[in-house]
Amino acid sequence: MQDVSNKEGMSSVSSLLDAPVLQAFSTYAAIVILKMMLMSPLTSYFRLTRQVFANLEDTKLVSSTEDKKLVRVDPDVERVRRCHQNDLENIVPFVVVGLLYALTGPELSSALMHFRLFAGSRIFHTLAYVTPLPQPSRALSWIVGMLVTSSMAYKLISTVLYL
C-alpha cells in the first residue's frame, strides 16, 4: 500500500470505487441521473416540433424572424417539465442519501435491492407520467421511490448519528 499511496494520494481514491457497494451505487446513480437528463432533450424535442417556446429569442430556431406568437404554453411540454421537476425532487435526495448510505458499508444484497427498486420505480414513473398511464400507477411508483430513499436515510442516520 505504501508505494501506491505515493502516487499523489490516489491510493485511497481508486480503492474507494473498488468496493462493490460503491460500484453498484455509482452504476445506479448514473442510470437515474442519465434518465433525468433525458428529460431536457425531450422537452427541446416537443418545443421544436410543436413550436412552443419560453423565450422570444428561441423562436429564431424555427422561424426567420422573432415570432411573439410562438412564446406560449403547451400542455405536452408542461407535462414533460413536471416530470423533470419530479425527477429533481426525488433523484437528488436518492443520490445524496444513497452515496452516504453506501459509505456506511451496508450489506451488498440489501444495498442492491434499494438501488434497483429506486431505479425501476423512477423509470416506471417517467413512463407513467409521459404516456400517461391511469392513476394510481404514477402515484405508486413515486411512493416506492420515496420509501426506498427514506429506508436508506433511516439506515444512514441510525449508523452515523452525530448531532
Contacts to its own copies from residues 37-66, by CB under 8 A: 37, 39-41, 54-55, 57-58, 60-61
- In angstroms, rounded to a whole number, what is the distance separating the alpha carbons of residues 79 and 125? 13
Nearer to its own copies by Cβ, of 10 and 49: the residue is: 10
- In angstroms, rounded to a whole number, what is the distance separating the alpha carbons of residues 26 and 5? 23
Minimum distance, C-beta of residue 126 to its own copies, in the bound complex (Å): 14
For the chain, how many residues are written? Answer: 163
Strand ranges for the chain from DSSP E = none
The verdict on 4 binding its own copies (CB under 8 A) reads: no
How many degrees, rounded to 5, is the angle at CA 153 between CA 148 and CA 156?
Answer: 130
Contact criterion met (CB below 8 Å) for 5 and 12: yes
The verdict on 150 binding its own copies (CB under 8 A) reads: yes
Question: Judged by CB under 8 A, which of 45, 49, 72, 105 binds its own copies?
Answer: 105
Half-sphere exposure of 120 (CA within 13 A, CB side): 9
Minimum distance, C-beta of residue 87 to its own copies, in the bound complex (Å): 9
The verdict on 139 binding its own copies (CB under 8 A) reads: yes
- In angstroms, rounded to a whole number, what is the distance separating the alpha carbons of residues 126 and 155? 27
Question: Judged by CB under 8 A, which of 70, 77, 148, 156 binds its own copies?
Answer: 156
The verdict on 10 binding its own copies (CB under 8 A) reads: yes
- Residue 7: all three cell numbers together: 502516487
Question: Judged by CB under 8 A, which of 46, 77, 80, 90 binds its own copies?
Answer: 90
Question: Judged by CB under 8 A, which of 3, 6, 24, 140 binds its own copies?
Answer: 24
